[in-house]
Structure 1
Amino acid sequence: MTLDARLSAVLAFIRADTHADIGTDHAALPLALIESGRCRKVIAAELHPGPLQLAQVAVLRAGRGQQIEVRQGDGFAPIAPNEIQSASLTGMGARTMLGILERAAHLPRALILQPNAEPEALRRWATTHGYHLTAEALVPGFWRYPVLKFEQAPGADPAYSGVPQAAALRYGPHLLMAADPHLHAELRAQERRFSALAVYGRPGVLGELRVVQDALAFLLAAPTSAP
């Protein structure tokens, strides 16, 4: 099954014996995980009856019923403790993802999250829930999609060491360190937007502009800086 750039970036962050795709929709990601050999088994969890049926049909048509189990339920509710090593949530708002994570009675060692917006909320959640941000990507598409990989680890997250804290939480420490070209384009767009609004002197806008400028200054000073 062919994935778009967004889900292909998610796929690249996953490798586990047993993985769960929460809110699986058409089960495109579970099928790709099995067909690529990145997982031995995938649980495709879906709450809503329509997408659930579509996922079941897709799995059966692909002949992957032995490797992909489609389950109905809300978030992590259909998953047993210690049943999976990792889980993905994609194509949702960050607030929806936070609700699913907060309701979960148990979470796996690794989480791969692709919110449609507001990745800062997920980065902040991770810093207070025992997860480190170990990888991230920014993928062009309808807009620029963030993809975040979190792994359970003790102590403070080393990803935020040596980078401006507010800018790193907002735009991503790994992306800043790598001078990611997609982030560079995003920051330039944000700088233009907030600069135009800053003439009105609103404190909130001025604060946002400072964060963008701090991120740009750090990114442009990186050895691999984008032009």
Structure 2
Amino acid sequence: MKLSRRLQAVADYVTSGHRMADIGSDHAMLPVYLLQAGKCPSAVAGELNKGPYEAARKQVADAGLNERLAVRQGNGLAVVRAGETDAVTIAGMGGSLMRDILETGRKEGKLEGVKELVLQPNVGEELVREWLFEQGWYLKAESIVEEDGKIYEIMHAVKSEDAAARNAELYDGRFLPLELSREAGRALLMRMGPHLLRSPQPALFTKWRGELHKLERIWWQMGDSELPEAARKRERYREEMNRLEEVLQCLPTVKPSYS
């Protein structure tokens, strides 16, 4: 089975030998691939919606993986039993929903024994990073990929006894040649990705140039309003745009590869 660039990036982070659970698995392509590749001994594919759940069951049966890949219908981490999995992957949903799934699962003990999380939010990446930081997960690596005109960020987090110290160092924005308070630096890295800013790739510049374009469009539209609150919001937008521009200007640029 051949995966998309996005799912391949997720699969690459899963540690060989780990039992995995894919939450919001859709057609179960990711766990099928990982089992067929011999990377995982067993897996759980969790899917809430009936249509994709039935499609996943068929795909697993056609692949002859019923003995090693359990397809379960349910909401979030409710499909997983505590201690059943070493790795959890969640891909293709918003950061707010992803954070809620992780937090509910944590409270229900579903993350007990889980050693790694591989997460690909479509939007709201900072919400996921903040949850990982607050709950003692170390953000070990990140990547950013562009596929079919869309840009995706993938995060690999691990359980670590020294996660607090390692995260404090990771989210220290002093490596950026900018005048930033500790709080401002941390917020910036939460938003844009601490690893992504340290090793910037072409897709990172593409993403944030696009975000700047959206902010500028909103900034111009606000100029049509005479309300004092609109003027204050417009000023905040300008400050945000200036800060993002400063960050992009200070990053070392890399040339895209066309090989």
TM-score, normalisation: structure 1 = 0.90
CA contact (8 A) 1:176 1:218 kept: no
Instruction: Find the aligned partners of 1:77 and 1:193 in 2 and give their Cα distance.
Output: 37
Matched ranges for 1:204-223 at <5 A: 204-220=236-252
List alignment gaps of at least 5 residues for structure 2. Answer: 177-184, 224-230
- Give a deviation string over 1:49-101, Cα, whole Å, max 9, x none: 22111111000001111221111221111211121111011111111111111
Matched ranges for 1:62-211 at <5 A: 62-104=63-105, 105-106=108-109, 107=111, 108-141=114-147, 142-153=149-160, 154-156=163-165, 157=167, 158-161=169-172, 162-163=175-176, 164-195=185-216, 197-198=218-219, 200=223, 202-211=234-243
List alignment gaps of at least 5 residues for structure 1. Answer: none
Instruction: Find the aligned partners of 1:128 and 1:210 in 2 and give their Cα distance.
Output: 29
Question: Equivalent pairs: percent with the same residue?
Answer: 32
Instruction: Find the aligned partners of 2:239 and 2:127 in 1 and give their Cα distance.
Output: 17
Instruction: Find the aligned partners of 1:169 and 1:31 in 2 and give their Cα distance.
Output: 32
TM-score, normalisation: structure 2 = 0.79
Shift of 1:17: 2.2
2:39 match: 38
User: 1 or 2, which has the higher helix percentage?
Assistant: 2
RMSD: 1.9
**Greater CA drift, 143-152 or 197-206:** 197-206
**Greater CA drift, 40-49 or 157-166:** 157-166
User: How many residues are aligned here?
Assistant: 223
Instruction: Find the aligned partners of 2:23 and 2:65 in 1 and give their Cα distance.
Output: 18
Q: Secondary structure at the match of 1:40?
A: coil
Instruction: Find the aligned partners of 2:50 and 2:201 in 1 and give their Cα distance.
Output: 39
Q: Secondary structure at the match of 1:155?
A: helix
1:4 match: 4
